[in-house]
Structure 1
């Protein structure tokens, strides 16, 4: 049964790690509001309207000279015991000392004199948060931003609080508002730019990270911010496969960071992995595991991926088993998703199911993985029973609704499947796989207008998501709305220049018109350079070359595509495809490959071979327009 669409390990992993990302870099501290040690420092945002004498105290605090700052403040208070500005500075010192209760007393005293003092109110909100009074603290911070939208301290902590609650959209809203704070300077990279870009990376919006940070490299408000920005931007380039851009940033970081810095080593390992220099990637990751315990889990995950890329699944499983044995409950789901996926790849479904059963009690995410594993092992009825038990216990688990819907497709119950997908995207509008499957469900029912409107709704919730844009473009193609489809493909290519499938589809569509044939060839060349072994790209590039008169170069590509299409059909015939609604589109792709090769042979004077392939195309499945063209050629 087809449960996976695009290289995500599983839905449970996706929602345990914020939409399925395993980023190159990660925030190492768990963001927990009840743990003040993990909170951001308030010092960078601690502005106070003070006179020159008190400004010296604030400056000393920012420089870490707390003892001298306290002495100067004590002298000032001896002369001006009722000065509210001094009381606010005292509260700031209490914050730095994490004496939250005394900080709260200080700021409330300031506000009793001047309730409109937003700088004191933002510090009060933070102190309340750190003292465990989450609701009260958040309320005070919300009052601040209702008055001053760009208040840096309030936005930083409201964003941090949103992140701890998994509300990425709200966190982004707070950080982007803070970017407008005039204290951070126009045209300068602040911590808020870096925080915003990190969240863009977490939600796979790498193009937005690049657009935000690339113009500000070398223009940071501090060296710390600059290094952070370079790391996050390098991560975006690495995720997009831009080795050259990532390498430039990593070389810059190597000049400013110690060679043993774990973030630098992670970046180097990711670059080596992209360059397929797996021994060097392993060397960096193993050094992190040995020397940086706080980074050990992340480095071990990356190491397991390197072993997989090297074909050493046994070693990768060993690394993951070690992580699972030491993992806390909250970390189990993504680890088990990876581990059991590898166990399946090695042909050991029984081991995967056994592993999951051991950890599934009172853990909804792991129970989801168990149901998924049972389905992958063709135990569909058992899987459906498991997932329905899970939904009875956790009705808000969007991934379980998705899996139930997939199982209902297998059971040929489209109404139940539709209800499951709709509930999944209602619970999590960013659930891209569920949107795509819902669209495919409508396509399989020949309800193309409904499929189109569904993908439009999906894009309203997830603007410019390349997966959703590509699916919408495919639906528009099937509906005969070629111009609109091309517009969608162009939007993808603008944001992701190396998106080979979009390049291929756009090239194929443009090849039908002599006025755009030159552009089609350039696009097809780009796609082929990115994925030379992909049959559909071989077919499109070969077809465009044939259309352009280059039979010598184009025909071998079309022959390779046909050979791959035949192999794919033979592979499908040996597997259960009754539940895979991509079967019809596979037939269509094979038919087009036969048609293109048939035309190429005829243009090259091989009429008998060409006619044979054109007839095969008719029997394999092509659209009505192509049928008409074949009939004309066979006259």
Structure 2
């Protein structure tokens, strides 16, 4: 039974946060909504209109001379006890000292004199947030942005609040509005550019990160912002597989950051991993774990992935087990998710169940993982009981609705499955796997128009998401809407030039028309350069070459694709197909591979071999148009 496709298990574990795919490299950012210590500093956004005498106080504050600033302010207040500007400066000092209650008193005093003073109101909103009065603080900040849409402080904290609540769309809205704040300078990279780009990366919109940040490299409002921008932009390039662009940024960071900087080491490790230099990647990550405790969790997760890429899953599991033993219960869920995922990959769901039962199954996320492990261990009824118990306790758990829906598909209860997927995407609109499975559910019911409209809705919530775009294009292909499908494939390739499946599908579609055969060959060559061992890409490239008259080069590729298709079928026959529904789409691919090879043999004069493969294609599953062509060839 297929439980997950592409998304990280952490997406399904989220109550209200869409975390997206696990990145190759991520700047450390762990938002904890109940911990004010993780909130951003207010200092960069704190502006106060003051006279010359108070300006000295503000300058001292910015220089970190808080003690001297307080003395000068006290002298000023002794002469002007009712001056609201001095009271606002006092409130700012209280904010720096994290004396939120006194800060609140100060800003309310300012606002009692001048209710329209938005700079004081934004500081009041932040102080209320940090004092645990989240609803009141958010309300004050919303009042500020209703008057001044680009207020930097209000937008920064409203964005932070939205992030902690999992509302990426709202956070992006706040940060992009703040980019328009004239105090940050036109044509300059501000922290808001970096924050916006981080969220683009988090939602797989790497092309938007590149478009936003690349023109601003070297034009940051501070060295700190510049380094942050380079790190986030490097992450986007790494995700897109652009080693050269990422390497240029990392070389630049090596000149400005100490060699032991953990963010730099993470970037270097990610580049080494992309270059398949796994020993060097391990060296960087192990150094972080040893020397930077605050980063050890993130580095350990990345290290486990490196071990997996090296084929050493045992070592990967060992790293995670060690990390689990040192982690507090409240932080265990993501680690257990990764650990059990590796155990699943090793075909050991029973081991995963044992691991999970060693920890509190009262934790909703752990209970979710237990239900998944039970399902993977073919204990479907028990898994469904576990997940329904979880939903009774935590009805807002989107991942549990998703898992229940997958189990209902196994039980052949499509109505219940549909309800589960719909609830999952309602709770987390960025839950890509749930959208894809819902589309597949409609496809299996031969409801292609409904599948198409579902993917259109998914893309409204997740614009330009490549997984959703690719699924929509596949549905359009199945519906005979080839031109629209090609348009979707082109959108993917424009944003992700190295998206091999989109290149392959577009090439295959264009190969049917002699006027676009040349473009088809170029696209197929690009796909083959990216994934030359992928059977569907071998098949498409070989077929395009045969169509172009290059039998010598094309036929061996088609033979390799057929061999791989046969191996896949034999593999499925020796495994429980209920664990993997991918064979449902591979039958058609196998039929096409036989058809293409049959045509190639006939063009090369091998009529008997060609006819044999054409007949095999008819029995393996091909569409009606291909059947007609085969019938014509076999006459």
Counterparts of 1:132 and 1:396, CA distance in 2: 23
Return 31-40 or 474-483, whichever deviates more. Answer: 31-40
Could you tell me which runs of 5 or more consecutive residues in structure 2 were left unpaired when the two chains were aligned. none
Deviations 1:338-375 (A, max 9, x none): 11122233343222111112224211111111111111
The verdict on how the C-alpha distance between 1:473 and 1:579 changes in structure 2, with shifts beyond 3 A counting, is: same
Counterparts of 2:584 and 2:605, CA distance in 1: 32
Return 489-498 or 69-78, whichever deviates more. Answer: 69-78
Q: Specify the alignment match of 1:77 in structure 2.
A: 77
Counterparts of 2:349 and 2:19, CA distance in 1: 25
Cα offset, 1:177, TM superposition: 1.0
Scaled by the length of structure 2, what TM-score is found? 0.96
The verdict on how the C-alpha distance between 1:26 and 1:557 changes in structure 2, with shifts beyond 3 A counting, is: closer
Cα offset, 1:558, TM superposition: 0.4
Cα offset, 1:34, TM superposition: 4.8
Q: Specify the alignment match of 1:446 in structure 2.
A: 446
Conservation of the 8 A alpha-carbon contact between 1:587 and 1:621: yes
The verdict on how the C-alpha distance between 1:24 and 1:571 changes in structure 2, with shifts beyond 3 A counting, is: closer
Deviations 1:447-487 (A, max 9, x none): 11111111111112211111111111111111111001001
Counterparts of 1:105 and 1:349, CA distance in 2: 57
Scaled by the length of structure 1, what TM-score is found? 0.96
Q: Specify the alignment match of 2:566 in structure 1.
A: 566
Q: Specify the alignment match of 1:310 in structure 2.
A: 310
**3-state secondary structure, aligned to 2:15:** helix
The verdict on how the C-alpha distance between 1:14 and 1:211 changes in structure 2, with shifts beyond 3 A counting, is: farther
Cα offset, 1:31, TM superposition: 3.3
CA RMSD across the alignment? 1.8
Q: Specify the alignment match of 2:2 in structure 1.
A: 2
The verdict on how the C-alpha distance between 1:120 and 1:313 changes in structure 2, with shifts beyond 3 A counting, is: same
Q: Specify the alignment match of 1:162 in structure 2.
A: 162
Q: Specify the alignment match of 2:176 in structure 1.
A: 176
Conservation of the 8 A alpha-carbon contact between 2:286 and 2:299: yes
Conservation of the 8 A alpha-carbon contact between 2:54 and 2:86: yes
Deviations 1:90-144 (A, max 9, x none): 2212222222222222212211111101111111111222222222222211111
The verdict on how the C-alpha distance between 1:613 and 1:269 changes in structure 2, with shifts beyond 3 A counting, is: same
Deviations 1:397-450 (A, max 9, x none): 111111111111111222221222122122222111111111111111111111
Return 556-565 or 616-625, whichever deviates more. Answer: 616-625
Cα offset, 1:582, TM superposition: 4.3
Conservation of the 8 A alpha-carbon contact between 1:33 and 1:130: no
Cα offset, 1:550, TM superposition: 0.9
Counterparts of 1:441 and 1:623, CA distance in 2: 21
Cα offset, 1:24, TM superposition: 4.8
Could you tell me which runs of 5 or more consecutive residues in structure 1 were left unpaired when the two chains were aligned. none
Q: How many residues align?
A: 635
**3-state secondary structure, aligned to 2:9:** coil
List structure 1 segments (4+ residues) > 6 angstroms apart after TM superposition.
Answer: 14-17
Cα offset, 1:594, TM superposition: 0.7
The verdict on how the C-alpha distance between 1:217 and 1:2 changes in structure 2, with shifts beyond 3 A counting, is: same
Return 391-400 or 281-290, whichever deviates more. Answer: 391-400
Return 272-281 or 85-94, whichever deviates more. Answer: 85-94
Counterparts of 2:123 and 2:17, CA distance in 1: 31
Counterparts of 1:31 and 1:553, CA distance in 2: 54
Counterparts of 1:534 and 1:29, CA distance in 2: 35
The verdict on how the C-alpha distance between 1:35 and 1:332 changes in structure 2, with shifts beyond 3 A counting, is: closer
Q: Does 1:99 align with 2:63?
A: no
Return 12-21 or 516-525, whichever deviates more. Answer: 12-21
Counterparts of 2:374 and 2:525, CA distance in 1: 42
Cα offset, 1:35, TM superposition: 3.7
Cα offset, 1:187, TM superposition: 0.8
The verdict on how the C-alpha distance between 1:555 and 1:624 changes in structure 2, with shifts beyond 3 A counting, is: same
**3-state secondary structure, aligned to 1:201:** helix
Cα offset, 1:10, TM superposition: 6.5
Deviations 1:158-204 (A, max 9, x none): 11122222222222221111111010011110001111111122222
Q: Which fold has the larger relative contact order, with Cα–Cα distance below 8 Å and residues 6 or more apart in sequence?
A: 2
**3-state secondary structure, aligned to 1:273:** helix
Counterparts of 2:252 and 2:470, CA distance in 1: 36
Cα offset, 1:62, TM superposition: 1.3
Cα offset, 1:616, TM superposition: 1.1
Counterparts of 2:443 and 2:255, CA distance in 1: 54
